[in-house]
Structure 1
Amino acid sequence: MQKNGQDGGARKYLEIKVLRHDLSVAAALALPVVILEMGGHVIPAFHHWIAHGIGMQSSWIVQLLLTTLVLIGPGRMFFAKGVPALRRGAADMNALVALGTGAAYAFPTVATFLPGFLPAPSRAFYFEAAAVIVALILLGRFLEARAKVALARRSAILPDSAPKRRGWNETARLPPCPSQRFRLMILSICAPATALRWMAP
């Protein structure tokens, strides 16, 4: 039982590590896409610099390449899980993300290389939407996973398999009564300092 709990704890920490890495990569790739596409709306001079410097076509190709890296890298998990879910007729969040980012990626790709297939007024570019959606969903999952681990540690459900931080009281004990443990869990969220004093021997 204890070994299974330790394995579960290690898997949780590994999941957080992977999510942190994917989030960092997605954010680093999405940021220049957002700047290239939205920067001109905030600073008109930046739009003119892009248009007369590298050219709008080159800007769209750069956005396409960066967004492609986001989708085949950190965003690959959404398609790997979402597409099979769609085939089974059991769409989930992964399927919704795959559909949204796929559409936001495919439409401007056609507008970039085959603009004649689209009416001129409808040629729009949403590369930044696809990249930002992936980054934000990863951010949400990273925060959720970290919160679950923190909550489990406070309620003594998940063993602490991560390296111990300096200053952590290793002799702290949790009350055996479930109702008191629940009160401690709520107190840990609202007033961590008070909870630590309560846990101290």
Structure 2
Amino acid sequence: MLLAIDTSAGTAVAAVAANGSVLAERSTADTRRHAEVIGPFLHEVLAEVDRAARDGGDAHPLAGVVTGIGPGPFTGLRVGIAAARAVAIARGVPLVPVPSHDAVALKLVEGGVAAGRFCVVTDARRREVAVTEYSAALPVPRVVVPARLELRLGFAPEEGVALYEVTEIPAAALAHVAAARLAAGASFPDPQPLYLRAPDVTMPTGPKRVTS
């Protein structure tokens, strides 16, 4: 079983079995309560999986924790990554980082919605959007390898490039991306959040000028 967590937009948690079936999931599109809901969501999802096993269902040992690494705003994104790290360390399983837009891309392609070149777009705040371009010409799972990732103000797609703007990242699809890459022996990015935007606070480059 893979446990997937994403807080790059709203908050989403899902437990996905080795065969790809969704065992339990919780989500909210609220972009301001990540810290308040991540704990209850994790407890409810894991408790639901354990309860199903006690009631005679199959046991699903945790094999890894998938974390969405964005792009997303700093405050929300770090809540999910920190929670995923904590669960992975506590359970002694690997932490599997996946770009959050890849989950949307995979779901669009597998559902037959996206074809050719397309972009996944999410709100980056400050009147900006995070944009990842994909190509559906490649077979899954390689389709979820982005061709371009950037932060834009006033985004308009190129001619012939479909645009899919989303407000939630499906945690189950995030687990499906991780499972497909693991099965294919593909590499994963470093578990570093994709903030895209430079921090507001910067280190001083030299001594301050003192005036009397």
Same fold, TM-score > 0.5, yes or no: no
Q: Which protein, 1 or 2, shows the higher relative CO under an 8 Å CA cutoff with sep ≥ 6? A: 1
TM-score band, normalised by the shorter chain? Answer: under 0.3
**TM-score computed with the length of structure 2 as normaliser:** 0.25
**TM-score computed with the length of structure 1 as normaliser:** 0.27
Indicate the structure with greater helix content.
1
